Structure 1
Amino acid sequence: MILESVENGPLLWPTIKENRVTRPKKYSELSVMEAIQADCDVKATNIILQGLPPKFYALEMECKLYDEFDKFAYKKGESLHDFYLRFSLFLNDMNIYNMKLEQL
């Protein structure tokens, strides 16, 4: 299954409709086969990343953080305090990789 993850890409997480909102299933809601595939995806990713020089791992993490920044938004029902904590954690991750956001 690890080879399948490498050849075919990671599992596309199934979604579930709950209160008229579609969301990805939680890990605990996956079927046995989906959970095994998700675990193999993580193992395959780790194997690949461990074989890369640290520079490439940092670049991969930076890309994920930029993507997360683009999608960062207030979640309905979230308190201002929770939003601030989530944003602070995000900024800490960016500081770890010396990322800078430049104004256009």
Structure 2
Amino acid sequence: MTTLAEHIIVAGAENHPPMLEKSMYDSWVSRLRLFIKGKKNDRMMLDLIDNGPLVYLFVEENGQTIPMKYSKLTKAQQLQDDCDVQATNIILHDLPPDVYALVNHQDAAKDI
């Protein structure tokens, strides 16, 4: 007899990403990509997962070279940064605890 949880995993859900099952990684990847395609800024999130996040520009301040502050980025750069954070959260959302423990120190969706 199948459980409700198993039916949800097979059918998928629109309000949360699919749960990673270690033996079905390829299926999870394709379902996760499909889930992201249903979100706002989907193409940008998928691009960030494939190609990596925005590389912050560096500026000189008080004789030191530091990354540019978020508030000083252009609107497009802020959107790109926000999309990377959202994509990272989507990926991390339904990882099993042991897998999450391996990747939770990563800052970018591509690295995860």
TM range (shorter): 0.5 to 0.7
Once the two structures are TM-superposed, the CA of residue 37 in structure 1 deviates from its matched residue by 0.2
Across the two proteins, how many residue pairs are aligned to each other? 64
1:13 corresponding residue in structure 2:
56
- 1:23 paired to 2:55: no
Distance 1:20 1:31, change over 3 A: same
Identity %: 48
- Partner-residue secondary structure (3-state), 1:11: coil
1: CA distance, partners of 2:106 / 2:47? 24
1:59 aligned onto 2:102? yes
- Under a length normalisation based on structure 1, what TM-score does the superposition of the two structures give? 0.55
Q: Which amino acid aligns with 2:82?
A: D
> Which structure is richer in relative contact order (CA contacts within 8 A, separation 6 or more)?
2
Counterpart for residue 38 of structure 1: 81
Letter in 2 for 1:52: L
Q: CA deviation at 1:16?
A: 1.0
1:62-73 to 2 correspondence within 5 Å? Answer: none
How large is the Cα RMSD of the aligned pairs?
Answer: 1.8
Secondary structure of the equivalent of 2:54?
Answer: coil
1:48, CA displacement in angstroms? 0.9
* 1:62 CA drift (Å): 5.5
Any stretches of 5+ residues in structure 1 without a counterpart? 65-104
Whole-angstrom CA distance in 1 between matches of 2:87 and 2:72: 22
1:63-85: CA deviations, max 9, x gaps? 78xxxxxxxxxxxxxxxxxxxxx
Q: Distance in 2 between matches of 1:17 and 1:62?
A: 28
TM-score by length of 2: 0.51
Question: How many Å separate the matches in 2 of 1:58 and 1:49?
Answer: 10
Question: Where in structure 2 are there 5+ consecutive unaligned residues?
Answer: 1-43, 108-112
Which structure dedicates a bigger proportion of its chain to helix?
1
Summarize the Cα distance change of 1:3–1:26 in structure 2 as closer, same or farther, 3 Å threshold.
Answer: same
